[in-house]
């Protein structure tokens, strides 16, 4: 690359390409006119080497293991902020002052109730329904109550939708759980903090007063912050992708939730704990055997909670969570055997050349499930907790996408490798 240009040689032709500078991290090469000018497209399965947008929300340095939101280190915001403070940071570019935070918190609290009709919506699911299915369906469904705010080009309508989504998500999540537990839905309490209110709706019963444990509330606050945003991950890219067609914010976020559900993404937190439980229950399984299986190319087994598309170093969120897991389990007085299994697996993996050569480290999901479990959440709720945490990041990215004049409908090309043209055969003549 020279003089702000890169050069692509196609056959005997030189084709100069503009450079897209970055404040920090990878510089881009603009190939947007390549097909029009040269009749070729780039090929990049999984978009592993493709920047689909410029963004000023979150920077992940995978080589160094750094994560910053709007320039602030994740370690600092996780230690010092409330979840709603971080949501404000992601949505409005900077940390709020005291007055701004109070106003923002009040605004969000104003919208925590769901429409009464929504109760029947929850009732219609089987008790066995996975709460992620209920969460994404309900997120889509509540848009029908706010259709006047559905225009993505109206900034005031978008702000109204964003506030409602953040306010109502804990209510939807808790009711999804109550449905599966066969317990009565608990209404939000606006005298409580965001996290306390969620814990109240999850675990309270109408028959008794529930006291919220401040240790559990503090731990959940940190966990939600650690999930709040992470650049162009699968679910966030999905939210942008869907939103690029000018689908409304609710519909775009619901799509992101479905992307998050998969075990290679946010569903990994549930998968990790289920994997650790299997190891615990199987006397023949130990860390060495698990690592041998993970390395075996003929075995589909993967070490869940390990590896990351961007991090080629220790995920800073996992670093915080590893220490946090010890602290939380000690504070709540729980001796979870799964933590010892996880520590053993991590050590064995990190000492193994296969994992070292491929730079596979624990990711955010490796320890989060163990902490969620210690806080009293069932495994099927873990990805729902991830979704509550990631919501501000999805909305911030959706807003950035919709406000960016460079946004076009997301529509990748393909390299066609099928039959070119066939003679049509009537059904009566087909073999």
Closest approach of Cβ 60 to ligand ACO, in Å? 11
Q: How far is the CB of 359 from ligand ACO (least distance, A)?
A: 8
Annotated active-site residue in 69, 111, 308, 336: 308
Number of residues in contact with ligand ACO under rule CB under 6 A: 20
Nearest to 54 by CA among 21, 88, 13: 21
Give the nearer residue to ligand ACO in terms of CB position, either 170 or 362. Answer: 362
d(CA 259, CA 239): 9
Report in angstroms the alpha-carbon separations of 204 from 145, 388, 390. 27, 19, 24
* 293 contributes a contact to ligand ACO by CB under 6 A: no
* Contact status: 360 vs ligand ACO (CB under 6 A): yes
Q: Which of 146, 203, 306, 361 binds ligand ACO (CB under 6 A)?
A: 306
Q: Please give the Cα distance from 120 to 113 (Å, whole number).
A: 15
Site string for ligand ACO, 22-61 (x = CB under 6 A): ------------------------x---------------
- Residue 19 structure tokens: 């450079």
Q: Which residue in 265, 319, 373, 399 binds ligand ACO (CB under 6 A)?
A: 265
400 lies in the binding site for ligand ACO (CB under 6 A): no
Smallest distance, ligand ACO to C-beta of residue 309, A: 4
Instruction: Note whether 358 binds ligand ACO by CB under 6 A.
Output: yes
Alpha helices in 26-154 (DSSP H): 34-38, 74-80, 83-92, 98-109, 117-123, 131-142
- By CB under 6 A, which span of 75-83, 88-96, 116-124, 302-310 interacts with ligand ACO? 302-310
Contact flag: residue 188 with ligand ACO (CB under 6 A): no
Q: Which of 60, 364, 370, 388 binds ligand ACO (CB under 6 A)?
A: 364
Torsion of CA 174, 177, 182, 184, to 10 degrees: 0
Q: Check residue 217 for interaction with ligand ACO (CB under 6 A).
A: no
Q: Whose Cβ is closer to ligand ACO: residue 243's or residue 266's?
A: 266
Q: Nearer Cβ to ligand ACO, position 244 or 270?
A: 270
Helices (H) and strands (E) in the chain, counts: 18, 6
Q: Which stretch binds ligand ACO (CB under 6 A): 84-92, 126-134, 203-211, 360-368?
A: 360-368
Active site residue 308: yes
365 catalytic per annotation: yes
Q: Dihedrals φ, ψ of 381, to 5°?
A: -95, -10
**CA triple 24-30-32, angle to 5 deg:** 140
| Catalytic residue selected from 229, 315, 352, 365 | 365
List the one residue out of 339, 92, 69, 31 whose CA is nearest residue 230.
69
Neighbouring-strand partners of residue 8? 15
Bridge partners, 13 (sequence order) = 10
SS3 of 305-324 = CECCCCCCCCCHHHHHHHHH
Tokens of 325: 């897991």
Q: Judged by CB under 6 A, which of 204, 237, 253, 294 binds ligand ACO?
A: 294
Phi and psi at residue 390, in whole multiples of 5°?
A: -75, -15
| Residue for token pair 């799964």 | 338
The backbone torsions φ and ψ at residue 393, rounded to the nearest 5 degrees and listed phi first, read -65, -40
Query: Counting contacts by CB under 6 A, is residue 85 touching ligand ACO?
Result: no
| Least separation in angstroms between CB 417 and ligand ACO | 21
Q: 């860390």: which residue's tokens?
A: 287
Hey, what are 269's tokens? 């937190």
Smallest distance from ligand ACO to CB 126, Å:
28
The CB density around residue 116, as the number of other CB atoms within 10 Å, is 7
| Nearest residue to ligand ACO on Cβ basis | 307
Residue 309 as a binder of ligand ACO (CB under 6 A): the answer is yes
Spacing of C-alpha 45 from chain mean position: 21
| Stretch in the footprint of ligand ACO (CB under 6 A) among 57-65, 135-143, 204-212, 298-306 | 298-306
Binding mask 221-240 for ligand ACO (x = CB under 6 A): ------------x-------
Q: What one-character DSSP code corresponds to residue 428?
A: G
The reply to whether 303 sits near ligand ACO by the rule CB under 6 A is yes
Catalytic positions: 308, 365
Q: Which residues bind ligand ACO (CB under 6 A)?
A: 46, 233, 264-266, 268, 294, 302-309, 358, 360, 363-365
């Amino acid at each position: 690359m020279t003089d702000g240009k890169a050069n692509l040689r196609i056959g005997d032709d030189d084709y100069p390409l503009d450079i897209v500078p970055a404040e920090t991290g990878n510089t881009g090469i603009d190939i947007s006119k390549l097909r029009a000018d040269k009749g070729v497209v780039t090929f990049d399965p999984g978009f592993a080497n493709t920047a689909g947008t410029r963004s000023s929300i979150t920077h992940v340095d995978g080589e160094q293991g750094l994560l910053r939101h709007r320039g602030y280190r994740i370690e600092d915001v996780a230690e010092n902020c409330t979840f709603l403070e971080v949501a404000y940071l992601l949505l409005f570019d900077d940390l709020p002052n005291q007055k701004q935070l109070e106003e923002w918190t009040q605004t969000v609290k104003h919208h925590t109730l769901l429409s009464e009709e929504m109760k029947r919506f929850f009732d219609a699911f089987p008790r066995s329904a996975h709460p992620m299915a209920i969460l994404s369906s309900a997120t889509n469904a509540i848009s029908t109550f706010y259709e006047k705010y559905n225009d993505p080009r109206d900034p005031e309508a978008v702000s109204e939708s964003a506030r409602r989504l953040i306010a109502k998500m804990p209510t939807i999540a808790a009711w999804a759980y109550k449905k599966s537990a066969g317990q009565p839905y608990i209404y939000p309490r606006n005298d409580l903090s965001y996290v306390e209110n969620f814990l109240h709706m999850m675990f309270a019963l109408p028959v008794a007063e529930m006291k919220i444990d401040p240790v559990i509330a503090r731990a959940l606050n940190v966990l939600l912050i650690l999930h709040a945003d992470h650049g162009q991950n699968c679910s966030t890219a999905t939210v942008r992708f869907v939103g690029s067609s000018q689908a409304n914010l609710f519909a775009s976020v619901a799509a992101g939730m479905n992307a998050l559900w998969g075990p290679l993404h946010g569903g990994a937190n549930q998968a990790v704990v289920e994997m650790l439980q299997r190891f615990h229950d199987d006397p023949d399984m130990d860390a060495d055997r698990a690592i041998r299986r993970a390395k075996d190319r003929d075995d589909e087994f993967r070490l869940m909670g390990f590896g990351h598309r961007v991090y080629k170093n220790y995920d800073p969120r996992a670093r915080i969570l590893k220490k946090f897991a010890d602290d939380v389990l000690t504070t709540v007085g729980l001796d979870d055997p799964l933590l010892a299994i996880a520590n053993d697996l991590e050590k064995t993996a990190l000492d193994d050349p296969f994992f070292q050569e491929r730079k596979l480290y624990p990711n955010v999901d490796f320890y989060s499930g163990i902490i969620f479990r210690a806080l009293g959440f069932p495994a099927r709720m873990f990805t729902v907790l991830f979704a509550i945490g990631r919501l501000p990041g999805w909305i911030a990215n959706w807003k950035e996408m919709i406000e960016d004049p460079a946004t076009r409908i997301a529509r990748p090309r393909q390299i066609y490798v099928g039959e070119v043209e066939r003679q049509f055969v009537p059904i009566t003549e087909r073999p």
